[in-house]
Amino acid sequence: MPVRVMKLCGVTHLIASNAAGGINEEYNEGDIMIMKDHINFMGFAGNNPLVGFNDERWGPRFIPANKVYDKGLREEAKRIATKIGMSPIVREGVYVFLGGPSFETIAEINMFRICGANAVGMSTVGEALMAYHAGMKVFAFSLITNKCVQDYDDDREANHSEVLDVGAKRSGILKKWIGGIVEYIRQECHQNGY
Ligand SMILES: O=P(O)(O)O[C@H]1O[C@H](CO)[C@@H](O)[C@H]1O
């Protein structure tokens, strides 16, 4: 498990990123959504990375999951976004994790919107749970690469090349933002004697 290898190497914080479709109709392509929570839809079907024998050296058998995404890191990320002038594109919301690789149907998107999801994707939640279980602080965000189709009269179709294009367009500002967050984590680790 890569996250556990990181833990063995002394890593204390996980920063995870993903591309995601925007379910919240106020979200625009190119927005960045700080993950404040997730819906582990894969987990509903028993596909949770913590299933199976639990070696207590990694963490306890049963863990709470209401604080996976560290509040202090989220607040700091918002402060840094304001400082570098990117707060107009920064959101905070709930990510729903599906298995893919097919994109979602209109009925699925409508269901997830009603269930409180703001963005949808096919990654991140497994790594976040593993890291939190092992005592790491987790920060995760989604780059909204497309607005999900939620209407039968909308002729657009989700596609991977659009996802890659939006990712490339936002790479500059994301490097600056993540650089600021890493610097904050470096100082925090230094203060805590790591
Ligand atoms: O979550 P990441 O790996 O960023 O990628 C997202 O983009 C891909 C679909 O275009 C899917 O893999 C989805 O999860």
- In tens, the pLDDT along 37-58 reads 999 999 999 999 999 999 999 9
Would you say the pTM of this structure is higher than 0.90? yes
> What DSSP assignment string belongs to 125-173?
HHHHHHHHHTT-EEEEEEEEEEEPP--TT------HHHHHHHHHHTHHH
Is 4 domain-assigned?
A: no
CA of 20 relative to ligand 1 center, distance in Å: 7
**Pocket perturbation via mutation, ligand 1, pick of 15, 29, 41, 122 by most ligand atoms within 8 A of CB:** 122
Kindly state whether residue 6 falls inside one of the protein's structural domains: no
- Residue 34's domain is classified under what CATH number? 3.40.50.1580
pLDDT band at residue 194 using 50, 70 and 90 as cut-offs = confident
Question: Tell me, what's the ipTM?
Answer: 0.98
Residue nearest to atom 5 of ligand 1 (CA): 19
pLDDT over 90 at 107, yes or no: yes
| Amino acid letter for position 168 | A
Q: Which atom of ligand 1 is nearest to the CA of 167?
A: 4
User: What is the tally of structural domains in the chain?
Assistant: 1
Boundaries of domain holding 71: 17-147+158-191
Question: What pLDDT score was predicted for residue 95?
Answer: 98
Sign of CA dihedral 160, 164, 169, 171: positive
Answer for the pair 166, 146: CB distance below 8 angstroms, yes or no: yes
Lining ligand 1 with CB less than 6 A are: 18-19, 100, 121-123, 160, 163
Q: Kind and range of the H or E element at 95?
A: strand 90-97
Query: Which whole-number Å values give the CA distances from 188 to 126, 168, 192, 194, in the listed order?
Result: 25, 30, 6, 9
Residue 165, domain member (yes or no): yes
Please give the distance, rounded to the nearest whole angstrom, from the Cα atom of residue 57 to the centre of ligand 1.
31
Q: Does 9 reside within a domain? A: no
Q: Is residue 24 part of a domain?
A: yes
Six-digit token string for 30: 């190119």
179, β-bridge pairs: none
- Kindly tell me if the per-residue pLDDT of 1 is higher than 60: no
